[in-house]
Each structure stands twice: as C-alpha cells, then as structure tokens.
Structure 1
Amino acid sequence: MSVHYVCRHCGIKIGEIKANVSEVQLGFHTLSPEEKQEILLYQENGDIVAQVTCEYCQEAIERNPEWLLLHKIHH
C-alpha cells in the first residue's frame, strides 16, 4: 500500500509514502468518519490518496479567502 498526498485545490502531488504503514501510524484513525470521507480516497489497488492543501495554496487562501469558493486554484 502506498499513500499519495495530493493538493485538493490545485492537484499537485505533494508526496508519497511507499511503505506498508497502517492508518494508525499515519494518524488517520484520529479523523472522524466525515473527515475520512472528505480527505481520503481509497484506490482499488489498496493505495490511499490523501487530499490535503499544499503550502502555495494555503498561502494563497490566507491572502484571498474567497478563492475557497473556486473548484481549483492554479499557481
């Protein structure tokens, strides 16, 4: 199983963990069921895609909060 971290706003790949790690080791067990549904995508091959916010989008959103209304942010 691999975990792929992808920005939910711009789609850029942030990182990847290619080790056999559990959701507990990654801290995913602390998420509520609603948060898991919003953040984690489970792939058929067992991989997980974690949709997070990259630092560029975080800075852009802090400067322009109305951008959260957009589907995608381009940088």
Structure 2
Amino acid sequence: MAIVYKCRHCGNEIGKLEEKMVDTSLLGFDQLSTKDKKEMIHYTDNGDVHIQAICENCEETLGHHPHYHELDFFIQ
C-alpha cells in the first residue's frame, strides 16, 4: 500500500509514502471534515490511497493570483 500525494491543480506527484501500515491520525486525516475527506482522499483497486493536495508552485501562483481560487482548474 502506498499513500500518494498529488497536486489537485497541476497533477504532479508531491510525495509518496510506501508503508504497510500507517496511522492516519498522524497524517491529519482525522482533522478533515467528511466533505473534505470525500473530495481529497481516493482509494484505488490495488490498495493505494491518493490524496489531493496542492504543491508549492500552485500555492505560490494562487498567492499571486487570488482570483484563481474561483476556478476549479487554473492550469490548462
């Protein structure tokens, strides 16, 4: 099982944890609302967990262009 963090905007892989067992509370999953969990956490058939997050580059871009927050995707 792997936990894969991908940027929700550009799709780049931010990081990957290759662990057999992970305490999800250490990753902060227990701090998310049910709605956020449904939007951010996806399970694959092979047991991997994909987390939608934001990379540093897209975070910086959003900081410079705050109106991009209104868009679902700002990278074409």
- Report deviation, 1:47: 0.7
CA contact (8 A) 1:57 1:73 kept: no
SS in 1 for 2:26: helix
Which stretch shifts more, 63-72 or 34-43?
63-72
Give the partner amino acid of 2:32. L
- Report deviation, 1:72: 3.2
SS in 2 for 1:23: coil
Equivalent residue number for residue 42 of structure 2: 41
CA contact (8 A) 1:8 1:52 kept: yes
Equivalent residue number for residue 11 of structure 1: 11
Equivalent residue number for residue 62 of structure 1: 63
SS in 2 for 1:24: coil
Instruction: Find the aligned partners of 1:5 and 1:12 in 2 and give their Cα distance.
Output: 9
Aligned length: 74
Give me the TM-score of the superposition, normalised by structure 1: 0.85
CA contact (8 A) 1:9 1:73 kept: yes
Instruction: Find the aligned partners of 1:43 and 1:35 in 2 and give their Cα distance.
Output: 18
Instruction: Find the aligned partners of 1:31 and 1:71 in 2 and give their Cα distance.
Output: 20
RMSD of the TM alignment (CA)? 1.4
Structure with the bigger percentage of helix: 1
- Give ranges in structure 2 of 5+ residues lacking alignment: none
CA contact (8 A) 1:4 1:17 kept: yes
- Give ranges in structure 1 of 5+ residues lacking alignment: none
